[in-house]
Chain A
Amino acid sequence: MNGAKVNGSAVIDLKGVAIGYGAEAPPVLVDVDLSIERGSFVAIVGPSGVGKSTLLRVVAGLHTARAGAVTIHETKKPGHRPVSLVFQDARLLPWRRVAKNVRFGLEGLPISTTEREERVAAALRLVRLDDYGRRWPYELSGGQRQRVGIARALAVDPDILLMDEPFGALDAITRHGLQDELLRIHRETGKTVLFVTHDLEEAVHLADRIIVLGGSPARIVQDVRNDPGRESGGFREQVEQLRSGIADNYSI
């Protein structure tokens, strides 16, 4: 189960990536060599402060790596964006109705108004919020807001969907519901998902590959293949194996 293989259809390649905050401070994450296959669901787990979210921002182009190279093998389709992000706090624009929030990433892309509206409607359908387009963000529950965030990210038809602890702020019932929704969306769209979480059970439930970061400075300490969506069989063992792997490489 350990030692994930990488086939030839990589969509992201990270080579020797190091991350730090500020020029003088020591790096928090080093030697990240990672190749992610197209269509895979990869979870990145690790304790707080190891640079999981920052690694995601490096892939999104929002943060510059201190060393190494990040390559996105985008499909160069017209009218799409190579990567899009789902944030922990949904991060909707409060002055835009739901449909206009979903439309946000499509603005400026070379597509017709008709196609834009169709893509907004399709994205809302995908997250089962077809009838919520005219609502204001404040009229939504936490789970619904997060669905809108996912719809916004999917509307731009990205090669890679980056998700930064998207369910971390939700209650357990909503979180489990959305995890299953995300598995369905992943099956239906075939998008590559890079999912940051500190919840090992969530990672084992969702991802077909789990990257564990640990140590100081942090580096990849485990790279595990996983069979997602199961709650019986080896689920517990998988979670415990990851937990012990993190504990071995984590000192307070």
Chain B
Amino acid sequence: MRQPLKLHSSIALSALGVGAFLLAWEALARSGIVPAGLLPSPSAVPGAFLAEFRSGTWQAMVFASLSHYLSGLALGTVLGITFGTAAATWGVWDAFQAWVVRMLRPIPSIAWIPFAIIWFGVSKSAATFLIALTVFWINYYATYSAVRGVDKDLIELGHAFGQGGLIPRLFKIVLPGALPGILSGVRAGLGQGWMTVVAAELFGISGLGARMSDASGLLATHIVVLYMVTIAALYGVCDFLFMQVQQRVLAWQK
């Protein structure tokens, strides 16, 4: 059986792992085995950051991507939770939309890029649409199963105490009961949303992805790495902040 590690040992080992990875990468880049244009060294990234930051490019790209991300995330999350709740709550609606969902769900968001560009042009709206689509499905399914999983005894409790009508049942029992599952879906959407941001912007919509695409065309791979690190950091911050909110909202769980 595996022995659990103490917290400080675990943190120290994680830091050691990251350090070893960066050292190995640096050594490989400096060894000349791989041409510098194909694999930048990690030590080149801080310099790239300073140059991009001083020119204002980094801030502009981060702002543009955040703007796409947040609007797509908000739209997809709200619609996903709404439609997921509706499908899980009303059998008639569930049956009506079941095959539409089955047909649309397997189509990846990036397959909609041609339509996004035709409908919205190379614009913020196109990126928002694609991100919202990705986030929508994650939230739809998470909400659907969370709402279906709400304890039926609690629904009966609502009826016994005059809270059996649609609105009180929904807002006092079903949605609070489903909240842990719904928030898991929102969190998964946070990560998937960033992946779609990059995919959408690679097609020319201004932002981190577009900057990476431009830099790779010029073989400025240290700039590509800089923006990869930026995306990872932005996702890390979003996820961390969401976890703080989630812990507060779900303080009632043991």
**Do they bind each other?**
yes
Contact B156 A81 (CB under 8 A): no
How far, in angstroms, from A96 to B253 measured CA to CA in the complex? Answer: 11
How far, in angstroms, from A105 to B254 measured CA to CA in the complex? Answer: 25
Contact A136 B252 (CB under 8 A): yes
CB distance from B174 to the nearest CB of A (A): 12
How far, in angstroms, from A87 to B254 measured CA to CA in the complex? Answer: 22
Residues in chain B near residue A85, CB distance under 8 A? 157, 160-161
How far, in angstroms, from A118 to B157 measured CA to CA in the complex? Answer: 23
Is the C-beta of A109 less than 8 angstroms from some C-beta in chain B? yes
Interface hub of B160, B161, B176, B251 (most chain A Cβ within 10 A): B160
User: Chain A interface mostly helix, strand, loop or mixed?
Assistant: loop
Enumerate A66-106 residues with CB–CB distance to B below 8 Å: 81, 84-85, 87, 89, 91, 93-97, 104-105
Q: Size band of the A side of the interface?
A: 20 to 34
Contact bitstring A102-134, B, C-beta under 8 A = 1, else 0:
001101110000000000000000000000000
A87-B157, A93-B176 known; A104-B163 Cβ under 8 A: yes
Q: Size band of the B side of the interface?
A: 10 to 19
Contact B172 A107 (CB under 8 A): yes
Contact A107 B252 (CB under 8 A): no
CB distance from A60 to the nearest CB of B (A): 6
Residues in chain A near residue B163, CB distance under 8 A? 104-105, 107-108
Is the C-beta of B159 less than 8 angstroms from some C-beta in chain A? yes
A89-B153, A91-B153, A138-B254 known; A81-B162 Cβ under 8 A: yes
Contact A95 B177 (CB under 8 A): yes
How far, in angstroms, from A87 to B162 measured CA to CA in the complex? Answer: 16
Residues in chain A near residue B154, CB distance under 8 A? 91, 93
How far, in angstroms, from A81 to B157 measured CA to CA in the complex? Answer: 14
Residues in chain B near residue A96, CB distance under 8 A? 252
- A residues with a Cβ closer than 8 A to B are 60-62, 81, 84-85, 87, 89, 91, 93-97, 104-105, 107-109, 136-138, 152, 156
- B residues with a Cβ closer than 8 A to A are 153-154, 156-157, 159-163, 168, 172-173, 176-177, 179, 251-254
Besides the known contacts A105-B163, A107-B168, 13 further A-B residue pairs in the complex with CB atoms under 8 A apart: A60-B160, A81-B161, A85-B160, A87-B153, A89-B153, A91-B153, A93-B157, A94-B252, A96-B252, A104-B157, A109-B162, A138-B252, A156-B161
13 A-B pairs, CB-CB below 8 angstroms? A61-B159, A62-B156, A85-B157, A93-B157, A104-B172, A105-B161, A105-B163, A107-B168, A107-B172, A109-B162, A138-B254, A152-B161, A156-B162
